[in-house]
Protein backbone atom coordinates (compact mmCIF):
# COMPACT_ATOMS: atom_id res chain seq x y z
CA UNK A 1 0.00 0.00 0.00
CA UNK A 2 1.28 3.44 -0.91
CA UNK A 3 1.90 5.66 2.14
CA UNK A 4 1.91 8.89 0.11
CA UNK A 5 -0.85 11.49 0.14
CA UNK A 6 -2.20 11.63 -2.48
CA UNK A 7 -1.55 7.95 -3.22
CA UNK A 8 0.70 7.03 -6.14
CA UNK A 9 -0.94 5.60 -9.28
CA UNK A 10 -1.52 1.84 -9.24
CA UNK A 11 0.86 -0.37 -11.23
CA UNK A 12 -1.94 -1.07 -13.74
CA UNK A 13 -2.87 2.62 -14.21
CA UNK A 14 -1.93 4.35 -17.48
CA UNK A 15 0.11 6.94 -15.53
CA UNK A 16 1.92 4.28 -13.41
CA UNK A 17 5.33 5.84 -14.14
CA UNK A 18 4.28 8.96 -12.18
CA UNK A 19 4.63 7.06 -8.86
CA UNK A 20 7.38 8.21 -6.50
CA UNK A 21 10.83 6.65 -6.74
CA UNK A 22 11.82 4.39 -3.85
CA UNK A 23 15.22 3.27 -5.16
CA UNK A 24 17.25 4.69 -8.01
CA UNK A 25 20.21 2.94 -9.65
CA UNK A 26 21.22 5.12 -12.63
CA UNK A 27 24.51 3.24 -12.95
CA UNK A 28 22.43 0.14 -13.74
CA UNK A 29 19.71 2.00 -15.64
CA UNK A 30 16.65 1.33 -13.48
CA UNK A 31 14.48 2.70 -10.67
CA UNK A 32 11.93 1.06 -8.36
CA UNK A 33 8.71 3.01 -8.01
CA UNK A 34 6.36 3.07 -5.01
CA UNK A 35 3.76 0.99 -6.88
CA UNK A 36 6.24 -1.86 -7.47
CA UNK A 37 7.03 -0.96 -11.08
CA UNK A 38 10.66 -1.20 -12.20
CA UNK A 39 11.25 1.66 -14.63
CA UNK A 40 14.21 1.39 -17.01
CA UNK A 41 16.10 4.35 -18.46
CA UNK A 42 14.94 3.42 -21.98
CA UNK A 43 11.34 3.89 -20.65
CA UNK A 44 10.61 0.17 -20.62
CA UNK A 45 8.83 -1.11 -17.52
CA UNK A 46 8.50 -4.32 -15.55
CA UNK A 47 5.21 -4.56 -13.67
CA UNK A 48 4.78 -6.38 -10.33
CA UNK A 49 2.71 -9.00 -12.18
CA UNK A 50 5.77 -9.86 -14.28
CA UNK A 51 4.39 -8.22 -17.42
CA UNK A 52 6.90 -6.26 -19.48
CA UNK A 53 6.05 -2.93 -21.12
CA UNK A 54 8.15 -2.09 -24.18
CA UNK A 55 10.08 1.20 -24.22
CA UNK A 56 7.80 4.07 -25.18
CA UNK A 57 9.91 7.15 -25.64
CA UNK A 58 8.11 10.02 -27.35
CA UNK A 59 8.82 10.41 -31.03
CA UNK A 60 10.76 13.60 -31.70
CA UNK A 61 9.97 15.29 -34.99
CA UNK A 62 12.97 16.01 -37.20
CA UNK A 63 14.00 19.64 -37.45
CA UNK A 64 12.93 21.23 -40.69
CA UNK A 65 15.55 23.03 -42.72
Does position 61 have pLDDT exceeding 80, yes or no?
Answer: no
Specify the pTM: 0.80
Q: What is the pLDDT of residues 12-25, one digit of tens each?
A: 999 998 999 999 99
Cα separation, 43 vs 17, in Å, equals 9
Q: What is the pLDDT of residues 37-52, one digit of tens each?
A: 999 999 999 999 999 9
Side by side, the strands of the sheet bearing 52-53 are 21-25, 30-33, 38-40, 45-46, 52-53
Amino acid sequence: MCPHDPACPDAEAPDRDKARTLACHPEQGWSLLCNGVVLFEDTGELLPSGAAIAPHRPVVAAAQA
